[in-house]
Amino acid sequence: MSLTPLFVHATAGALCVGLAACAQAGPDAGRPVYRGVETRLLDGDLVNFHAALTGSGEAATDEAAAVEYSTCAAAQYAVIRGYGFARHVRTTTELNGGVWRADAVYTISPALPSGLRTIDAEVTVADCAERGIPTV
């Protein structure tokens, strides 16, 4: 009879491990964990954004999420400064220690800038909010 408590304890331990795995597979599993954005004004209307997130482990998806995170931050920054638009200049990404980092540069402007990679700041901020991507 002294084996029964040991068996129950071992079974409960295995059950807890199984439940922990189930808890990770809930509705937020695979979603990025946004770790913040650092913003630096480089020159007048040129702004640098360093965004970091931990992702799902799917490299292409997580890299894209880091880029989207920096875009959302750029849009919010433009709105805060009273500008309606931003133009993407460049973004580099890297994975280090399980954290994806996007280093992005945007220009911000009150009028639609020339170029192909422009964003309407207010529309983008609303889209980011709808998709659950935080902004600055």
Q: What pLDDT was estimated at residue 115?
A: 82
Buried b (16+ CB within 10 A) or exposed e, 28-62: eeeebebeebebeeeeebebbbebbbbbeeeeeeb
Question: Is 136 within a domain?
Answer: no
Number of independent structural domains in the chain: 2
Domain membership of residue 59 (yes or no) is yes
Q: What CATH number corresponds to the domain at position 116?
A: 3.30.1360
The confidence score (pLDDT) of residue 52 equals 97
pLDDT higher than 90, residue 16: no
Q: Which residues span the domain enclosing 71?
A: 33-131
pLDDT of residue 107: 96
Whole-number Å distance between alpha carbons of 83 and 86 = 8
Q: Model pTM? A: 0.77
Whole-angstrom Cα distance, residue 33 to residue 118? 26
For 82-97, what is each residue's pLDDT tens digit?
A: 999 999 999 999 999 9
